[in-house]
Amino acid sequence: MSSKVERERLSASALKGFFNIAAKWGLKDEDSRELLGGVSSSSFYEWKKNPERLLDIDRITRISFMVGIYKALHTLYGDQLADAWVRLPNKNLIFGGRSPLQYMLTGGLISMQTVRRLLDARRGGV
């Protein structure tokens, strides 16, 4: 995925997918920007308006984790719970009573990977 050609192929569809997931999860723009790795407001709105751009590996990886989390949630739960799950308080020790979204916002890329692995394990796809 590190080759420029591969990133060019994936970037626009990754951004479109990200914005669709963010809408389904009801994310605030500031939270979406943070999940993308701390994107400025101006860049974020430009990306939203015109997703045809080249993303770096970090952003593609972050979006990949979000897509995996989204797919796992929709495999495990009905659509309504799947889309609300990231915002609900969670008693799992990993989250410590916080929502998975709060956990990912404070822990960044590693936390996103942890949530993805947790959900993959729950659905038997480790």
pTM of the complete model = 0.93
pLDDT grade for 3, boundaries at 50, 70 and 90: confident
pLDDT at 126 over 60: no
How many Å apart are CA 56 and CA 2, to the nearest integer? 8
Taking 3-state DSSP, the helix, strand and coil percentages for the chain, each rounded to the nearest 5, stand at 70, 0, 30
Q: What is the pLDDT of residues 28-44, one digit of tens each?
A: 999 999 999 999 999 99
> Helices 100-122 and 57-76 meet at what angle, rounded to 10?
60
For residue 2, what pLDDT is reported? 63
- For 36, residues 6+ apart whose C-beta sits below 8 A from its C-beta are 18, 44, 59, 62, 63
Which two three-digit tokens encode residue 91? Answer: 């008693």
Read off the pLDDT of each residue in 45-51 and give the average, rounded to a whole number.
Answer: 94
